[in-house]
Amino acid sequence: MPYRNIAAALLLLPGLVALPLNASAEELPAGMVKRAKGTAHVEREGKKTAAQPGDKLFSNDRIITAADGSVGITLRDDTMLSVGPNSTMSLDKFAFDSTSHQGTLQATVKRGTLGVISGKLSKQSPNAVQFNTPSAILGVRGTEFVIDAGEGGE
């Protein structure tokens, strides 16, 4: 009888060990689209979809707007981003621990404008927040600002 219990436990063990791996493999969204106006798209893994309020955003997503488009985004650390018309912004990397407020935010504005109201991450870890443009790299120290990358390329 005890051998059956041990055998059953050994059969279940691989499934129990794999369970947390599957749960942790699911990436948390970096944030979400709060507002989308005009022609605006989210590009993920080469596929473009129209930006809609409620869309989840992840690291490596690109936001692309046309002349009539704009997108408002709120990240998990409460950073607010406003992507202006004729803009391309890549959310290169985002990680945030809601308990310690540690993590990283890296984004690139390839063209157009981006308004930023920094959130918890830049207040707790200012060196972990970075915005890149074709001509400059900006570090954030807990503030509000606008980036204008001009007419740069895609």
Starting at the edge strand found earlier in the chain, the sheet holding 61-65 runs 47-50, 40-44, 61-65, 88-96, 103-111, 129-132, 137-139
Kindly tell me the burial class for residue 6, based on how many C-beta atoms sit within 10 Å of its own C-beta (0-12, 13-18, 19 or more). exposed
Residue 17's pLDDT is 46
Residue of 29, 90, 33, 86 whose CA lies nearest to 62: 90
pLDDT tens digits, residue range 80-113?
A: 999 999 999 999 999 999 999 899 999 999 999 9
Tokens of residue 66, six digits: 């046309």
Residue 108's pLDDT is 96
Looking at the chain, the number of H-run helices and the number of E-run strands are: 2, 13
pLDDT tens digits, residue range 22-66?
A: 333 468 999 999 999 999 999 999 999 999 999 999 999 999 999
Q: Say which DSSP state 30 is in.
A: S
All domains in the chain, ordered by first residue: 31-148 (2.60.120)
Decide: pTM greater than 0.85.
no
**Beta carbons within 10 angstroms of residue 128's beta carbon:** 18
